[in-house]
Protein backbone atom coordinates (compact mmCIF):
# COMPACT_ATOMS: atom_id res chain seq x y z
CA UNK A 1 0.00 0.00 0.00
CA UNK A 2 1.14 3.56 -0.69
CA UNK A 3 2.21 5.90 2.08
CA UNK A 4 -0.45 7.59 4.19
CA UNK A 5 -1.79 10.83 2.73
CA UNK A 6 0.60 13.57 3.86
CA UNK A 7 -2.14 16.15 3.22
CA UNK A 8 -4.47 14.63 5.82
CA UNK A 9 -5.97 17.20 8.20
CA UNK A 10 -7.92 16.11 11.26
CA UNK A 11 -9.94 19.34 11.18
CA UNK A 12 -11.20 18.48 7.70
CA UNK A 13 -11.95 14.82 8.39
CA UNK A 14 -15.13 12.82 8.83
CA UNK A 15 -15.02 10.52 11.86
CA UNK A 16 -17.40 7.56 12.10
CA UNK A 17 -18.05 6.10 15.54
CA UNK A 18 -19.28 2.51 15.64
CA UNK A 19 -21.41 2.16 18.76
CA UNK A 20 -22.82 5.09 20.70
CA UNK A 21 -22.75 3.95 24.30
CA UNK A 22 -20.73 5.55 27.08
CA UNK A 23 -17.39 5.58 25.25
CA UNK A 24 -18.67 6.28 21.76
CA UNK A 25 -21.18 8.85 22.96
CA UNK A 26 -18.57 10.64 25.04
CA UNK A 27 -16.21 10.67 22.06
CA UNK A 28 -18.90 12.16 19.85
CA UNK A 29 -19.67 14.85 22.42
CA UNK A 30 -15.98 15.68 22.84
CA UNK A 31 -15.37 15.88 19.10
CA UNK A 32 -18.30 18.27 18.75
CA UNK A 33 -17.48 20.33 21.83
CA UNK A 34 -13.90 21.02 20.76
CA UNK A 35 -14.66 21.08 17.02
CA UNK A 36 -12.01 18.47 16.34
CA UNK A 37 -13.22 17.39 12.90
CA UNK A 38 -15.53 18.41 10.06
CA UNK A 39 -18.24 15.78 10.57
CA UNK A 40 -19.18 13.12 13.14
CA UNK A 41 -21.22 10.10 12.08
CA UNK A 42 -22.46 7.24 14.26
CA UNK A 43 -23.22 3.68 13.19
CA UNK A 44 -25.69 2.18 15.67
CA UNK A 45 -27.59 -1.08 15.93
CA UNK A 46 -31.14 0.05 16.70
CA UNK A 47 -33.49 2.56 15.10
CA UNK A 48 -34.27 3.87 18.59
CA UNK A 49 -30.59 4.71 19.03
CA UNK A 50 -30.70 6.76 15.83
CA UNK A 51 -33.53 8.85 17.26
CA UNK A 52 -31.79 9.21 20.62
CA UNK A 53 -28.54 10.35 19.05
CA UNK A 54 -30.14 12.84 16.68
CA UNK A 55 -32.41 14.22 19.42
CA UNK A 56 -29.39 14.72 21.69
CA UNK A 57 -27.50 16.37 18.80
CA UNK A 58 -24.30 14.52 19.62
CA UNK A 59 -23.57 13.63 15.97
CA UNK A 60 -24.21 15.08 12.54
CA UNK A 61 -25.68 11.79 11.38
CA UNK A 62 -26.72 8.56 13.09
CA UNK A 63 -27.70 5.54 11.05
CA UNK A 64 -28.06 1.76 11.13
CA UNK A 65 -26.75 1.56 7.55
CA UNK A 66 -23.07 0.56 7.43
CA UNK A 67 -22.53 1.80 3.90
CA UNK A 68 -24.04 5.19 4.68
CA UNK A 69 -22.06 5.59 7.90
CA UNK A 70 -18.67 4.59 6.52
CA UNK A 71 -18.76 5.82 2.91
CA UNK A 72 -16.94 9.08 3.65
CA UNK A 73 -15.31 8.21 6.98
CA UNK A 74 -11.64 9.17 7.10
CA UNK A 75 -11.36 7.68 10.60
CA UNK A 76 -13.46 4.79 11.90
CA UNK A 77 -13.52 4.26 15.68
CA UNK A 78 -15.01 1.00 16.95
CA UNK A 79 -16.25 1.46 20.52
CA UNK A 80 -18.22 -1.74 21.12
CA UNK A 81 -17.33 -4.59 23.55
CA UNK A 82 -14.22 -6.45 22.40
CA UNK A 83 -15.78 -9.63 21.02
CA UNK A 84 -18.38 -7.60 19.12
CA UNK A 85 -15.60 -5.33 17.89
CA UNK A 86 -13.65 -8.32 16.56
CA UNK A 87 -16.65 -9.37 14.47
CA UNK A 88 -17.23 -5.80 13.27
CA UNK A 89 -13.66 -5.46 12.03
CA UNK A 90 -14.45 -8.20 9.53
CA UNK A 91 -18.10 -7.42 8.83
CA UNK A 92 -17.49 -3.74 8.14
CA UNK A 93 -14.37 -4.23 6.00
CA UNK A 94 -16.27 -3.99 2.67
CA UNK A 95 -17.53 -0.53 3.62
CA UNK A 96 -14.25 1.12 4.68
CA UNK A 97 -13.16 3.99 2.48
CA UNK A 98 -9.80 3.53 0.76
CA UNK A 99 -7.16 5.24 2.87
CA UNK A 100 -9.32 5.28 6.03
CA UNK A 101 -7.76 4.95 9.48
CA UNK A 102 -9.36 2.12 11.46
CA UNK A 103 -8.97 2.28 15.23
CA UNK A 104 -10.85 1.17 18.32
CA UNK A 105 -11.40 1.63 22.05
CA UNK A 106 -11.15 -2.03 23.03
CA UNK A 107 -9.99 -2.76 26.56
CA UNK A 108 -7.74 -5.63 25.43
CA UNK A 109 -5.38 -5.36 22.52
CA UNK A 110 -3.71 -8.61 21.40
CA UNK A 111 -6.77 -10.09 19.70
CA UNK A 112 -7.79 -6.71 18.31
CA UNK A 113 -4.38 -6.08 16.74
CA UNK A 114 -4.40 -9.62 15.32
CA UNK A 115 -7.82 -8.95 13.79
CA UNK A 116 -6.65 -5.63 12.39
CA UNK A 117 -3.68 -7.29 10.72
CA UNK A 118 -6.11 -9.19 8.49
CA UNK A 119 -7.86 -6.03 7.24
CA UNK A 120 -7.61 -5.11 3.54
CA UNK A 121 -4.41 -3.41 2.51
CA UNK A 122 -6.16 -0.20 1.46
CA UNK A 123 -6.89 0.88 5.04
CA UNK A 124 -4.62 1.90 7.93
CA UNK A 125 -5.33 0.09 11.23
CA UNK A 126 -4.01 1.09 14.64
CA UNK A 127 -5.19 -0.22 18.00
CA UNK A 128 -6.01 2.19 20.79
CA UNK A 129 -7.49 2.17 24.28
CA UNK A 130 -8.44 5.25 26.32
CA UNK A 131 -8.06 4.37 30.00
CA UNK A 132 -11.26 5.82 31.41
CA UNK A 133 -14.90 4.96 32.02
CA UNK A 134 -17.80 4.91 34.46
CA UNK A 135 -20.08 2.32 36.03
CA UNK A 136 -23.04 3.78 34.15
CA UNK A 137 -23.52 2.70 30.55
CA UNK A 138 -25.24 4.02 27.45
CA UNK A 139 -25.49 7.37 25.74
CA UNK A 140 -27.36 8.84 28.71
CA UNK A 141 -24.19 8.44 30.81
CA UNK A 142 -21.88 9.97 28.18
CA UNK A 143 -20.05 13.23 28.84
CA UNK A 144 -17.71 15.33 26.74
CA UNK A 145 -15.10 15.54 29.50
CA UNK A 146 -14.75 11.77 30.02
CA UNK A 147 -11.34 11.65 28.29
CA UNK A 148 -9.85 14.68 30.04
CA UNK A 149 -6.48 13.69 31.54
CA UNK A 150 -6.94 10.00 30.68
CA UNK A 151 -4.06 7.93 29.28
CA UNK A 152 -4.84 6.95 25.67
CA UNK A 153 -2.84 3.87 24.76
CA UNK A 154 -1.82 3.40 21.11
CA UNK A 155 -0.85 -0.05 19.82
CA UNK A 156 0.28 0.31 16.20
CA UNK A 157 0.75 -2.69 13.91
CA UNK A 158 3.91 -3.37 11.93
CA UNK A 159 2.03 -2.03 8.89
CA UNK A 160 0.88 1.20 10.59
CA UNK A 161 2.67 4.28 9.19
CA UNK A 162 3.99 6.65 11.87
CA UNK A 163 1.84 9.42 10.40
CA UNK A 164 -1.30 7.42 11.24
CA UNK A 165 -0.23 7.18 14.87
CA UNK A 166 0.32 10.93 14.85
CA UNK A 167 -3.27 11.49 13.68
CA UNK A 168 -4.69 9.45 16.58
CA UNK A 169 -2.29 11.22 18.95
CA UNK A 170 -3.68 14.53 17.71
CA UNK A 171 -7.25 13.31 18.14
CA UNK A 172 -6.54 12.14 21.70
CA UNK A 173 -4.90 15.41 22.69
CA UNK A 174 -7.69 17.43 21.08
CA UNK A 175 -10.21 15.97 23.55
CA UNK A 176 -7.90 16.20 26.55
CA UNK A 177 -6.39 12.71 26.66
CA UNK A 178 -2.70 11.84 26.99
CA UNK A 179 -1.47 9.49 24.22
CA UNK A 180 1.17 6.85 24.93
CA UNK A 181 2.54 4.01 22.80
CA UNK A 182 2.52 0.52 24.32
CA UNK A 183 3.01 -2.82 22.54
CA UNK A 184 -0.18 -4.93 22.56
CA UNK A 185 1.09 -7.81 24.74
CA UNK A 186 2.58 -5.41 27.26
CA UNK A 187 -0.69 -3.45 27.30
CA UNK A 188 -2.69 -6.57 28.13
CA UNK A 189 -0.31 -7.51 30.95
CA UNK A 190 -0.43 -4.01 32.44
CA UNK A 191 -4.20 -3.63 32.33
CA UNK A 192 -4.66 -7.14 33.73
CA UNK A 193 -2.90 -5.95 36.88
CA UNK A 194 -4.42 -2.50 37.33
CA UNK A 195 -7.88 -2.90 35.75
CA UNK A 196 -8.97 -6.50 35.22
CA UNK A 197 -7.67 -7.85 38.54
CA UNK A 198 -9.32 -5.03 40.54
CA UNK A 199 -12.63 -5.84 38.84
CA UNK A 200 -12.21 -9.54 39.65
CA UNK A 201 -11.41 -8.75 43.28
CA UNK A 202 -14.40 -6.42 43.55
CA UNK A 203 -16.67 -9.22 42.31
CA UNK A 204 -15.13 -11.63 44.83
CA UNK A 205 -15.50 -9.04 47.61
CA UNK A 206 -19.22 -8.53 47.02
CA UNK A 207 -19.87 -12.27 46.70
CA UNK A 208 -17.95 -12.92 49.92
CA UNK A 209 -20.04 -10.31 51.74
CA UNK A 210 -23.17 -11.96 50.33
CA UNK A 211 -22.29 -15.15 52.17
CA UNK A 212 -22.53 -13.17 55.42
CA UNK A 213 -25.74 -11.49 54.28
CA UNK A 214 -27.35 -14.90 53.77
CA UNK A 215 -27.33 -15.27 57.56
CA UNK A 216 -27.39 -11.65 58.63
CA UNK A 217 -28.74 -8.98 56.28
CA UNK A 218 -27.50 -6.23 58.58
CA UNK A 219 -24.14 -6.47 56.82
CA UNK A 220 -25.47 -4.16 54.09
CA UNK A 221 -26.81 -1.70 56.68
CA UNK A 222 -23.41 -1.28 58.35
CA UNK A 223 -21.41 -1.16 55.11
CA UNK A 224 -19.75 2.26 54.79
CA UNK A 225 -17.31 4.09 52.53
CA UNK A 226 -14.62 1.41 52.69
CA UNK A 227 -16.91 -1.22 51.21
CA UNK A 228 -18.40 1.27 48.77
CA UNK A 229 -14.99 2.28 47.41
CA UNK A 230 -13.47 -1.20 47.21
CA UNK A 231 -16.59 -2.78 45.65
CA UNK A 232 -17.28 0.00 43.13
CA UNK A 233 -15.96 -1.88 40.12
CA UNK A 234 -18.34 -4.78 40.68
CA UNK A 235 -21.07 -2.55 39.24
CA UNK A 236 -19.30 -2.26 35.86
CA UNK A 237 -21.00 -3.33 32.63
CA UNK A 238 -21.16 -7.14 32.69
CA UNK A 239 -21.08 -7.65 28.91
CA UNK A 240 -18.01 -5.45 28.57
CA UNK A 241 -16.22 -7.12 31.48
CA UNK A 242 -17.04 -10.64 30.26
CA UNK A 243 -15.42 -9.78 26.93
CA UNK A 244 -12.41 -8.31 28.69
CA UNK A 245 -11.83 -11.31 30.95
CA UNK A 246 -12.22 -13.80 28.11
CA UNK A 247 -10.02 -11.93 25.61
CA UNK A 248 -7.24 -11.45 28.18
CA UNK A 249 -7.73 -14.79 29.88
CA UNK A 250 -4.10 -15.81 30.42
CA UNK A 251 -3.01 -12.45 31.81
CA UNK A 252 -6.06 -12.17 34.08
CA UNK A 253 -5.59 -15.68 35.47
CA UNK A 254 -1.91 -14.96 36.12
CA UNK A 255 -2.83 -11.86 38.11
CA UNK A 256 -5.57 -13.66 40.05
CA UNK A 257 -2.90 -16.21 40.94
CA UNK A 258 -0.62 -13.40 42.14
CA UNK A 259 -3.42 -11.96 44.27
CA UNK A 260 -4.22 -15.38 45.75
CA UNK A 261 -0.54 -15.81 46.64
CA UNK A 262 -0.46 -12.44 48.40
CA UNK A 263 -3.66 -13.25 50.30
CA UNK A 264 -2.15 -16.57 51.37
CA UNK A 265 0.93 -14.79 52.73
CA UNK A 266 -1.24 -12.32 54.63
CA UNK A 267 -3.55 -15.06 55.90
CA UNK A 268 -0.56 -17.04 57.15
CA UNK A 269 0.79 -14.02 59.00
CA UNK A 270 -2.61 -13.44 60.63
CA UNK A 271 -2.87 -17.14 61.57
CA UNK A 272 0.57 -17.02 63.21
CA UNK A 273 -0.07 -13.72 65.00
CA UNK A 274 2.98 -12.53 63.06
CA UNK A 275 2.56 -8.81 63.56
CA UNK A 276 5.92 -7.77 62.05
CA UNK A 277 5.08 -9.53 58.77
CA UNK A 278 1.55 -8.12 58.76
CA UNK A 279 2.86 -4.61 59.30
CA UNK A 280 5.54 -5.02 56.63
CA UNK A 281 2.99 -6.15 54.05
CA UNK A 282 0.54 -3.39 54.88
CA UNK A 283 3.22 -0.71 54.93
CA UNK A 284 4.59 -1.88 51.59
CA UNK A 285 1.12 -1.60 50.05
CA UNK A 286 0.34 1.74 51.71
CA UNK A 287 3.66 3.23 50.61
CA UNK A 288 3.21 2.11 47.01
CA UNK A 289 -0.27 3.58 46.82
CA UNK A 290 0.83 6.90 48.33
CA UNK A 291 3.75 7.17 45.93
CA UNK A 292 1.62 6.28 42.92
CA UNK A 293 -1.16 8.76 43.54
CA UNK A 294 1.21 11.50 44.58
CA UNK A 295 2.84 11.11 41.16
CA UNK A 296 -0.53 11.29 39.43
CA UNK A 297 -1.51 14.35 41.46
CA UNK A 298 1.70 16.09 40.48
Query: Can you give the CATH number for the domain in which 262 is found?
Result: 1.10.3660.10
Distance CA 147, CA 127 (A): 17
103 and 35 in a single domain? The answer is: yes
pLDDT in tens, 77-118: 999 999 999 999 999 999 999 999 999 999 999 999 999 999
Decide if 217 is inside a domain. yes
Distance CA 163, CA 127 (A): 14
Query: For the chain, what percent of residues have pLDDT higher than 90?
Result: 93
CATH number at residue 138: 3.40.50.720
Q: What is the mean pLDDT of the chain?
A: 95
Decide if 3 is inside a domain. no
Decide if 155 is inside a domain. yes
What pLDDT is stored for residue 298 in this prediction?
45
193 and 170 in a single domain? The answer is: no
pLDDT in tens, 234-264: 999 999 999 999 999 999 999 999 999 999 9
What pLDDT is stored for residue 1 in this prediction?
53
Decide if 141 is inside a domain. yes
56 and 125 in a single domain? The answer is: yes
Tell me the mean pLDDT in the region 145-154: 98
197 and 164 in a single domain? The answer is: no
Q: Note whether 200 and 236 are within 8 A (CB).
A: no
pLDDT band at 3 (very low <50, low <70, confident <90, very high): confident
Please give the biggest Cα pair distance in the chain: 69
Q: Which residue among 157, 182, 207 closes a domain?
A: 182
223 and 115 in a single domain? The answer is: no
146 and 21 in a single domain? The answer is: yes
Q: Which residue among 182, 199, 227 closes a domain?
A: 182
Residues in the chain: 298
26 and 113 in a single domain? The answer is: yes
Q: Decide if pLDDT at 8 tops 50.
A: yes
Q: Decide if pLDDT at 296 tops 60.
A: no
Count: domains in the chain: 2
From residue 165, alpha-carbon distances to 112, 115, 157, 158 in Å are 16, 18, 10, 12
148 and 191 in a single domain? The answer is: no
For residue 102, which phi and psi values (nearest 5 degrees)?
-110, 120
Decide if 1 is inside a domain. no
pLDDT in tens, 17-52: 999 999 999 999 999 999 999 999 999 999 999 999
DSSP 109: -
Residue range(s) defining the domain that contains residue 29: 10-182
126 and 215 in a single domain? The answer is: no
202 and 293 in a single domain? The answer is: yes
171 and 213 in a single domain? The answer is: no
Decide if 4 is inside a domain. no
Decide if 2 is inside a domain. no
Q: Note whether 80 and 18 are within 8 A (CB).
A: yes
Count helices and strands (H / E) in the chain.
Answer: 13, 8
170 and 191 in a single domain? The answer is: no
Q: Decide if pLDDT at 160 tops 60.
A: yes
pLDDT band at 295 (very low <50, low <70, confident <90, very high): low
Decide if 5 is inside a domain. no
Q: Which residue among 153, 182, 211 closes a domain?
A: 182
Amino acid sequence: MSDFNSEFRLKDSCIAIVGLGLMGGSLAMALQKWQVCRRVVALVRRAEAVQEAMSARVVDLATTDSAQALAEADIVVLTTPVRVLLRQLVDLAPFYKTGAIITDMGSTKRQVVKGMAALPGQVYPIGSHPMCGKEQTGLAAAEATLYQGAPWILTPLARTPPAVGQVIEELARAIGAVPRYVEAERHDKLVASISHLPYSLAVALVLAAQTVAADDGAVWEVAASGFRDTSRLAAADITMMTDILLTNQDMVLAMIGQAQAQLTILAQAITNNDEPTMRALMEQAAKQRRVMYQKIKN
